[in-house]
Amino acid sequence: MQIMSEKLVKSVRIAIFAPSYPPAFLGGGPVRTLEALVKACPSSVKLSVLAPDRDIDGSDLNVASNTWTRESGIDLLYAPIHSLRGLWASCRKLRSTRPSVVYLNSFFNPRMSIFPQVLAKVGFWRGASVLLAPRGEFGQGALETKKLKKKAYLFLYRLFRLKMRVTWHASNEIEASNIRRMWGDRADILVREDETNLPQIPSAPGRTDGQMRAVFLGRLVRHKGLLTVIQALEASDAPMSVDVYGPEEDESYARECKTAAAGCPSNIVFTFHGAIPPESSRDILSQYDVLLMPTRGENFGHVIAEALSVSCPVICSAETQWTEVLTHGGGAIVASNEPLEWRNTIERFALATPEVRMLYRLHAGMAYARWRDESKGPHVLSMMLESLVRI
């Protein structure tokens, strides 16, 4: 079996569909997660990555478009997939690499997941296996967004049996359970935590004095839950500042959050800073006493790992894989979306003395170190190759 595996690894090429890839950054954590996955892949595996030549807001990236480039041993194709003609031409170029595995990093993305799956159904990929990472899209919170469109697609997906020969990549057991809820207990699932490019050792906490400084870092969309925090603090007497970083992906929701924040008492100061480049996130997080993460679901939660890596504790919902890490020193878990429960938890941090908040930060760094020391197992693409050998 080992000899067969080595032969397979040396001959295989994996084609990766990346809905957003650096230098794009507005997609948030999934962009950095996918970059880390590519960089951590065993060097013996040949990778071809197809990505849009624009960021998610439509702005052009400073890349060579519609031509193969090579970076750190990876073949990259940034392409004009916003047009059907460009998408079709890009898929043909990707097929010319003769991939054995097509790795999709979304379920509902029309161009970067639905279209290549339809092509797989008609044999376009010449028998290549499909590995699909839904990236949290099967969580209840995510399914509530654009609910009717998603229900319609799920109906058609089942009708045309597109899931045949699909192997699912779940980032954790929560996501694996969501996949089984959607596709049954016989779904073929590889469970492997997402990769990161974060350091092994956490950085020491910065100074903690005066009133508490809290931060929210994420896309301004409903399932990220910023409005829950704002509503929680509308009746709080605790002095604090809350800085908000992230692209206003849902403009209507962003306006709703800003209006609600303007109605908070004078002891609560919200400041909206907009999007930041990913290389700045750890430096920014290191300046704060706590990260607020009222998400309704994450497939990984890259920003949580980033915060802990700079000894910044996290107050988070129970809808991520980080519950155990946070309850054992990394911060706190809020079990519901009720504003009162969020207010009580946030105030516990805000009303603590600077010395106690420093202890919280030290404990967050130690929780990160324990998490980094845990064995994560083989790379998910190595796991996929082993499953092909067993077939």
**Pairing state of beta strands 314-317 and 331-334?**
parallel
Question: If pLDDT is split at 50, 70 and 90, which confidence band does 211 have?
Answer: very high
Decide: 56 and 26 in contact? Cβ < 8 Å.
yes
3-state secondary structure 82-95: CCHHHHHHHHHHHH
Identify the residue whose tokens are 């890349």.
Answer: 63
CA-based max dimension of the chain: 68
Decide: 30 and 63 in contact? Cβ < 8 Å.
no
Decide: 352 and 361 in contact? Cβ < 8 Å.
no
Q: What is the pLDDT of residue 346?
A: 98
Q: What is the pLDDT of residue 138?
A: 94
The span from the CA of 358 to the CA of 362, in Å, is 6
Which are the contacts of 44, defined by CB distance < 8 A and separation ≥ 6?
A: 9, 10
Q: Between 207 and 49, name the one with better pLDDT.
A: 49
What is each CA distance from 206 to 199, 203, 279, 310, in whole angstroms? 17, 9, 18, 9
Decide: 368 and 330 in contact? Cβ < 8 Å.
yes
Segment 305-338, tens digit of pLDDT? 999 999 999 999 998 999 999 999 999 999 998 9
Task: Give the pLDDT mean for 30-43.
Answer: 93
3-state secondary structure 249-276: CCHHHHHHHHHHHHCCCCCEEEEEEECC
The span from the CA of 56 to the CA of 71, in Å, is 22
Which are the contacts of 171, defined by CB distance < 8 A and separation ≥ 6?
A: 133, 135, 136, 191, 192, 193, 194, 299, 300, 321
Phi and psi at residue 284, in whole multiples of 5°? -70, -50
pTM here?
0.91
Identify the residue whose tokens are 């979306």.
Answer: 337
For residue 381, how far is the Cα from the chain centroid? 18
Decide: 308 and 330 in contact? Cβ < 8 Å.
yes
Q: Is the pLDDT of residue 163 over 80?
A: no
Which are the contacts of 123, defined by CB distance < 8 A and separation ≥ 6?
A: none
- Classified as helix, coil or strand, 189 is strand
Decide: 247 and 280 in contact? Cβ < 8 Å.
no
Q: What is the pLDDT of residue 43?
A: 86
Q: What is the pLDDT of residue 183?
A: 94
Q: DSSP class of residue 204?
A: P
Residue-range domains of the chain with CATH: 2-193+376-390 (3.40.50.2000), 212-373 (3.40.50.2000)
Q: Is the pLDDT of residue 4 over 50?
A: no
What is each CA distance from 390 to 2, 100, 184, 370, 385, in whole angstroms? 11, 15, 22, 34, 9
Q: Tell me how many degrees the CA angle 381-154-123 measures, rounded to the nearest 5.
A: 55
The span from the CA of 133 to the CA of 382, in Å, is 15
Neighbouring C-beta atoms of residue 209, cutoff 10 Å? 11
Q: Between 290 and 9, name the one with better pLDDT.
A: 290
Q: What is the pLDDT of residue 10?
A: 54
Q: Is the pLDDT of residue 134 over 70?
A: yes
Decide: 47 and 18 in contact? Cβ < 8 Å.
no
CB-neighbour burial class of residue 123 (10 A; exposed 0-12, middle 13-18, buried 19+): exposed
